[in-house]
Structure 1
Amino acid sequence: MPRVVWALLCTLLIAGCASNPEDRPELTEADQYRQAHKSLEKNNFQTAIDDLKELEARFPYGEYAEQAQLDLIYANYQSVDYPATVVAAQRFIRNYPGHPRVDYALYMRGLANFNMEKGLFDNMVTSDKSSRDLQSARDAFQDFKRLVSRFPDSPYAPDARSRMVHIRNQLARQELHVARYYARRGAIIASINRAQYVVKHYEQTPAVPEALAIMAKGYERLGRPELAEKSRQVLALNWPDSPFLGKDQQIRLAWWPNEDNGLLSLLTFDLL
């Protein structure tokens, strides 16, 4: 009986040594890529990322190097690692500027930046991001702009254009948010400047009517009735049914602070 046990232990030990990963033959470049691609097909994105990085490390100038970098962009995006997606896309664009799929890399970098500022609960509830820092949205806009400028016929161009419109609307709303903030605190000139920026740089966004209303109310507060009337006329001419115009076609801003409530608004954080 001891001999049988000893023989069994020896057999297990030999089998363990034979299965040591260090003793296994290294995969060829093609086999390594096929292994990574199988992980992608099974949606095992983290495993695919590890396999693709190993492929790049072992065969940096191999036959599958370019495709491996493209797959790494996709795998990072699908694993919701947006910063890594941006880095991978940027590296591909830098390494292969003349590659026929540079448009894809630009698009994916834009998508990653577009989603970068999303919070944990943004997919469950609707939230207005206009009060946040929208630097990632600005980066996304530039990515999409480069895409549609360089590759206007790309299959990704229509969606990029649509997202650019969305981003411009967001940026315009952010300017309005700041304009309201300044107006509530009595910084009327700063509020007017922000509203003017919306009218000048975001002229085709839904934020323009309120920006004109802010300008009109601001000029009234500063004692510049001619400028206030000019802003009101532009609003009435282009948006006669605007909610910022009353039945008498005069400016109506429900949130606009009265002369004597600036300090109260400041002390109560606009709660009163």
Structure 2
Amino acid sequence: MPRLIWPLLAALLLGACASKPEESPERTEAAQYREAQSAMDANNYLTAIDRLKELEARFPYGRYAEQAQLDLIYAHFRSQEYPETVVAAQRFMRSYPAHPSLDYALYMRGLANFYMERSFFDSFMTTDKSARDLTSATDAFEDFERLVTRFPDSDYAPDARTRMVFIRNEMARHELHVARYYARRGAYIAAINRAQYVVQHYQRTPLVPEALAVMTAGYERLDQPELAAKSRRVLQENYPDSEYLDDDGQVDLAWWPREGKGLMSLLTFDLL
């Protein structure tokens, strides 16, 4: 029996060793980067983000480190993860301040800030953004301005300039929104100051005619005929066909509050 047991035990041990699966070799940096690229090509950006982060953790100084950070910026943006896009772009610019793709990182940071304030409904519904906080839009404007100043010949500069014009219009519209709010509540000096800011700082926006009209109506309500006449003259000479001028050349603002408020206006705080 002992002579039969030992060969049997040896056969069992050999069988167990043979049935043990072999461990897969560790992935190389190139193979892991290809996996991330395959995920991006398939528009599977969340998986791509995981692969790129893993690549950075395993090979922080590898041959794909710079490109992985650039891809991470793009993947976050396509996933609509705009705060993460800003962080990734800032990290790339801090790590590679002289990189040839620095204009791309700056442009993507601007785009992320540009879309930061957009709500879910903005993707399929036109909404008025003038009443919103424009902090992210201001950051986007600064990013685009820095891009066109440092890299005027960049492929991304034309689009950045176009978006700067749009943002300036939104800023002017925001100031006028506040001016209307003050005017409807009888704070005419505050309304005039907001409108004057539009005239001084957003001269090339289409909101200037209404701002001049607000200034004119505000000065008239404050019994300042000379200042009102000056604002009206600027409006008449520069925008003779403005919708805020009537046939006699006088300022006509449909939303401007009436001189005397009725009972309903007092009870509803001008909301109706």
Provide TM-score, normalisation by structure 2.
0.90
Structure 2 residue runs of 5 or longer lacking an equivalent are 1-14
2 CA distance for matches of 1:146 and 1:265?
A: 48
SS at match of 2:122: coil
Q: Compared with structure 1, are the counterparts of its residues 53 and 269 closer, same or farther at alpha carbon in structure 2 (3 Å cutoff)?
A: farther
Report deviation, 1:260.
2.3
Counterpart of 1:4 in structure 2 is none
Q: Judging changes above 3 Å, is the alpha-carbon distance between structure 1 residues 265 and 30 closer, same or farther for their aligned structure 2 residues?
A: farther
The reply to whether residue 18 of structure 1 matches residue 12 of structure 2 is no
Say yes or no: does 1:71 pair with 2:74: no
Runs of 5+ unmatched residues, structure 1: 1-10
Larger Rg: 2
Aligned residue in 1 for 2:146: 146
Q: Is the 8 A contact 1:110 1:141 kept in 2?
A: yes
Q: Does 1:109 align with 2:112?
A: no
Distance in 2, matches of 1:127 and 1:32, equals 43
Please name the residue that 1:184 is paired with.
Answer: 184
Moved more, 155-164 or 261-270: 261-270
Q: Structure 1 pair 140/195, CA: closer, same or farther in 2 (3 Å)?
A: same
2:241 counterpart residue number: 241
Query: Residue type matched to 2:81 in 1?
Result: D
Q: Are 1:184 and 1:262, in contact at CA under 8 Å, matched by a contact in 2?
A: no
Per-residue deviation, 1:68? 0.2
- Rounded to whole Å, the distance in 2 between the matches of 1:265 and 1:243 is 26
Does structure 2 retain, via aligned residues, the 8 Å contact 1:186–1:262?
no
Q: What is the alpha-carbon root mean square deviation over aligned residues?
A: 2.0
User: Partner of 2:125 in structure 1?
Assistant: 125
How far does the alpha carbon of each residue in 1:128-185 deviate from its partner, in whole angstroms, 9 at most, with x for none? 1011011111110000000000000000000000000000000000000000000001
Structure 1 segments (4+ residues) deviating >3 Å: 262-267
Q: CA separation in 2, counterparts of 1:240 and 1:156?
A: 37
State the alpha-carbon separation in 1 of the partners of residues 250 and 163 from structure 2.
Answer: 35
Secondary structure of the structure 1 residue equivalent to 2:118: coil
Counterpart for residue 44 of structure 2: 44
* Offset, 1:263: 8.1
In the TM superposition, 1:1-272 aligns within 5 A as: 18=21, 23-261=23-261, 264-265=264-265, 267-268=267-268, 270-272=270-272
Task: State the shift of 1:270 in Å.
Answer: 3.7
Question: Which letter does structure 2 place at the counterpart of 1:102?
Answer: L
Q: 1:269 and 1:111 mapped to 2: Cα distance?
A: 40
| C-alpha displacement of 1:29 | 1.0
Q: Is the 8 A contact 2:185 2:270 kept in 1?
A: no
Deviation at 1:271, TM superposition (A): 3.8
Q: SS at 1:252's partner residue?
A: coil
Q: 1:217 to 1:132 in 2, by over 3 A?
A: same
Q: CA deviation at 1:109?
A: 0.5
Q: Matched residues in 1 for 2:213 and 2:266: separation?
A: 22
Please state how far the C-alpha of 1:34 moved relative to its aligned partner: 1.0
Q: Which amino acid aligns with 1:52?
A: L
Aligned partners of 1:85 and 1:108 also within 8 Å: yes
1:107 and 1:160 in contact (8 A); partners too? yes
Q: Which amino acid aligns with 1:105?
A: A
Q: % of aligned pairs identical? A: 69
2:65 and 2:223 mapped to 1: Cα distance?
67
Distance 1:76 1:58 in 2: 20
Cα deviation 1:182-226 (Å, max 9, x = unaligned): 000111100000000000000100110000000001001111100
2:36/2:47 contact within 8 Å kept:
yes
Aligned residues: 258
